[in-house]
Structure 1
Amino acid sequence: MAHKTPSVDPLLADFQALVQDTEKLLQQSASLVGDQAEGLREQIQASLVRARKSLNANQESVRECCKAGVQATEHYVQEHPLQSLGLCAGLGVLLGMLIARR
């Protein structure tokens, strides 16, 4: 079963632009007054709006991808209960050993 994976690249690009704009605001905030400061604030606000829209657009596809993962896991556990139990027991032993080392 093939699943559509949401693209993270546009989202990361929006956040990188937001970070760069914020850094620019911090560097120039001491010398900016009036219209210059207002223009920079508007640029940052536009970056925030783009980032929010991108998050909202990708939210549903990420949710669907996670649902598909949960359904696949449930299906596997129902089809192979003993293997699943053995895997969980092995992970429990491994985690117990790691915790005991401290």
Structure 2
Amino acid sequence: MTDTTHPSKDKLVSDLKVVVSDAEELLKLTAGQAGDKLGDVRVRLSERLAIAKERLIEAEAAVVEKTKKAAHATDDYVHAHPWQSVGVAAGVAFLLGLLAGRR
């Protein structure tokens, strides 16, 4: 999996949290409404919200786990190749300095 997918996963998790929150609020607002069809919809929505919450927790845990693995891999590489890491950091800092100097 590429690094560019991590921000989109984070955004997806954030968006899903908002949707779940909105759906829960909708359930609370329609609690006083009567009707068999509305009751059936509320039950199905409640079940699907529970499933969505579980999947959201799993997705968030997966993102955190992958982030930790990437951090550990980076730490291991820096410890194994300190001078190469310093060179890369210096190169990145130089490029950022050039870009910042142009503004």
Query: Normalising to structure 1: TM-score of the pair?
Result: 0.54
- Counterpart-to-counterpart distance in 1, 2:101 and 2:41: 54
Q: If each structure's helix is expressed as a fraction of its own residues, which one has the higher value?
A: 2
Aligned to 2:63: 62
Structure 1 position 85, deviation (Å):
0.9
Aligned length: 80
Residues 30-69 of structure 1: pairs in structure 2 closer than 5 A: 34-69=35-70
Unaligned runs of 5+ in 2: 1-8, 27-32
Structure 1 position 51, deviation (Å):
1.2
Structure 1 position 84, deviation (Å):
0.6
- Counterpart-to-counterpart distance in 2, 1:45 and 1:100: 55
**CA separation of 1:51/1:83 partners in 2, compared to 1, >3 Å: closer, same or farther?**
same
Q: Structure 1 vs Structure 2: percent identity of aligned residues?
A: 37
Unaligned runs of 5+ in 1: 1-7, 26-31
Aligned to 2:86: 85
Structure 1 position 89, deviation (Å):
1.4
Q: CA RMSD in A?
A: 3.4
Aligned to 1:97: 98
- Counterpart-to-counterpart distance in 1, 2:56 and 2:102: 41
> Match of 1:89, as an amino acid?
A
Query: Normalising to structure 2: TM-score of the pair?
Result: 0.54
After superposition, the C-alpha distances for 1:36-78 in whole angstroms (9 at most, x for unaligned) are: 3333333332222111111223444433322222111111101
> Match of 2:43, as an amino acid?
E
